Homo-oligomer: A and B are copies of this chain.
Amino acid sequence: MDDERTYDASAFPRFAVTVDLAVFTVRDDALQVLLVRRGQWPYEGMWALPGGFVRADRDANLDRAAQRELWEETRLGMHALASADDKTIHLEQLRAYWRQGRDPRPGQEVATVAFLAIGPDLPEPTAGGDAAEAAWRPAVDVLTERVALAFDHRQIVRDAVEEVRRRLEDSPLATQFVPREFTLAELLHVYEVIWGETLDKRNFYRKIKELGGLITPAGRQTSGRSGRPAKYYVRSGVDVLRRPIHRPESSAKQAGLWDER
């Protein structure tokens, strides 16, 4: 029905487009997601994902809109020299969400494009703009409905968590949860926390090092702490792991449980 593309600006219901960010970090041995408490109707007083309207006049594209919102909400973002800063946030699109009435505001329909944002242990957020509050919450609290979210944000978090868990297997996503320079123990910790499984350190280290292009030694070592110093590594190049890092059976099952809709 190509005629539906015919130019007629008023022929079809118009949408507002928002971006919503599922910002994850690993803190206190848990996968945590950044939430803001809404200051107005609708869903006033409820927790929600940070996000906001795409400004067609200000934002060059969806990624930029997401970056802007991330910056405005958390003062975190993508810096000019990504590899040179420990506060760089990894950002990628998850998918778009819309169904009739997913936003209760009358007179408009709101479609949202959800983004996955990941960073190393991030500073305590400061409630920005009109948000009444901003805080890290364990992702499980959202998944288990101990924390209720506005709109369809629980579904977004569900999808985002499942995506994160899946992508630890076949992408270098885990390295986005740690600082630019990290130890193997820190990387292992990310996997264990997100999968909710303990992994064998020896097999894990071997696997990581055999995967060419995932990490490279940074030369430096930890110091000051008790015990043998740990070598630092930095992430290197690859964006697909030729062989996946398998998550244990039980973890996959747990993910299945979490993902029930």
Q: State whether A53 touches B4 (Cβ < 8 A).
A: yes
Selected contact of A5 from candidates B40, B72, B96, B99, CB within 8 Å: B40
| A205 in the interface (beta carbon within 8 A) | no
Q: State whether B16 touches A12 (Cβ < 8 A).
A: yes
Stretch at the interface among A106-114, A137-145, A194-202, A206-214: A106-114
| A6 in the interface (beta carbon within 8 A) | yes
Stretch at the interface among A82-90, A123-131, A174-182, A183-191: A123-131
Q: State whether A111 touches B40 (Cβ < 8 A).
A: no
Residues of B within 8 A of A18 (CB): 5
How many protomers of this protein does the assembly include?
A: 2
- Inter-chain CA distance A109–B60, complex, in Å, is 12
Nearest-Cβ distance from residue A155 to partner chain B, whole angstroms: 12
Residues of B within 8 A of A173 (CB): none
- Inter-chain CA distance A72–B41, complex, in Å, is 39
Q: State whether A7 touches B105 (Cβ < 8 A).
A: yes
- Inter-chain CA distance A12–B96, complex, in Å, is 19
Selected contact of A96 from candidates B55, B60, B95, B109, CB within 8 Å: B95
Q: Please report which residues of chain A, range 22-56, place their CB below 8 angstroms from some CB of chain B when the two chains form the complex.
A: 36, 38-42, 48, 52-56
Nearest-Cβ distance from residue A58 to partner chain B, whole angstroms: 9
Using CB atoms and an 8 Å cutoff, list the residues of chain A in contact with chain B: 1-7, 9, 11-18, 36, 38-42, 48, 52-57, 59-62, 69, 72-73, 93, 95-100, 105-109, 111, 113, 128-132, 166, 170, 240, 242, 244, 252
